[in-house]
Amino acid sequence: QASEAASGLTGPGETADGYGVKLLANVGSAKNVPAADEAHAEGVGLFRTELLFLDRAQEPTHDEQVAAYREVFTAMTGRRVVIRTLDAGADKPLPFLNQDGEPNPALGVRGLRVARQRPQVLTTQLAAIAEARAQTGADVWVMAPMVSTLPEAKEFAEAVYAAGLPKAGVMIEVPAAALRAADLLGVVDFLSIGTNDLSQYTFAADRMCGDLADLLDVWQPALLQLIGICGEAGRAAGKPVGVCGEAAADPLLAPILVGLGVTSLSMSPRAIPQVRAALAARTEADCRRLAEQAVAAPDAAGARALVS
Ligand code: PEP
Ligand code: MG
């Protein structure tokens, strides 16, 4: 293992010239932590908390939530864990929220929007996260899904701090939020770009619709441009901007995301080794040059051609 580390295959993510990019794992529960460890993930960049809420008529109790969060935090002692508050609705329907009547669930009351109708669900979850954190040694960051505006981000951050949690962030999944990334960074500590939903909403293409795969292509220059707006905002504010959607798992795209200003990549653990190797093969200047060219490309094929 020592020689693997020396050759850059298991060490922290970095470019050929030593510019650090955190390589993090997406997990749904403590069951995924061994795979993250095997891939030498530097932490968790997306802890999806929906699992605990699925298939239930009632929301899980405070104590049940503390137990589930504590399992992951304990396994990640000393490392970063970005935990996402409940992302219900649309592709993740939850029985206890009774949302069956929505004509357009992807455009409905989903993600953080659920807190408009059921603020107590968020309050309970934040209290449980705070308690689990207090019992463990993980570096816990909390973020909200499906944020569109500055007031939403501000209200969420206030709720996070009120629960005694030190770091609040928002996911960038809606084009309106990407366009206002600089404003959002005025009220939160970090951004995390969810490219699965950001593609869906940028191209008005259902993420579940295989026939529209070309529109949902993570190499689409318009998507990369929105990511670049967030990256620039992060550089200006000196705050972290991660990617935690599928785009983060594409080794060819990783240098471009870094060139756009992304400071961490969170993905399914099995994708980490290839992304680590891809970053190690490029300098930061290469990344910036490729990023500029990719955004200027006329289409996804043109962007892809830059690196193949
Ligand atoms: C995303 O939208 O890119 C994301 C990471 O969240 P999810 O896939 O859980 O919606
Ligand atoms: Mg999403």
For the Cβ of 217 lying below 6 angstroms from any atom of ligand 1, the answer is no
Ligand 1, atom 6, residue with closest C-alpha = 194
Q: In whole numbers, what is the pLDDT of the chain averaged over residues?
A: 95
Query: pLDDT for 271-284, tens place per residue?
Result: 999 999 999 999 99
For the Cβ of 194 lying below 6 angstroms from any atom of ligand 1, the answer is yes
Residues 6+ apart with CB under 8 A from 25: 32, 35, 36, 39, 41, 43, 44, 45, 266, 267, 268, 269, 272
H/E segment holding residue 191:
strand 190-193
Percent pLDDT > 90 in the chain is 89
CB atoms within 10 A of CB 224: 25
CB atoms within 10 A of CB 151: 10
Asked whether the predicted pLDDT for residue 4 surpasses 90, the reply is no
Query: pLDDT for 155-166, tens place per residue?
Result: 999 999 999 999
What tokens appear for 207 in the block? 């993420």
Tell me the CA–centroid distance for residue 103 and ligand 2, in Å. 19
Asked whether the predicted pLDDT for residue 220 surpasses 50, the reply is yes
Global pTM reads: 0.96
C-alpha 30/C-alpha 21 separation (Å) is 24
What tokens appear for 20 in the block? 């650090």
- pLDDT band per the 50, 70, 90 thresholds, residue 1: very low
* Reported ipTM: 0.99
Nearest alpha carbon to residue 110 among 197, 39, 221, 41: 197
Amino acid 6: pLDDT: 45
Give the mean pLDDT of 152-176.
98
Nearest alpha carbon to residue 109 among 126, 129, 128, 86: 86
Mutate to test the pocket of ligand 1, among 49, 244, 265, 267 (most ligand atoms within 8 A of CB): 244
Asked whether the predicted pLDDT for residue 98 surpasses 90, the reply is no
Asked whether the predicted pLDDT for residue 99 surpasses 80, the reply is no
Asked whether the predicted pLDDT for residue 26 surpasses 80, the reply is yes
Give the mean pLDDT of 173-196.
98
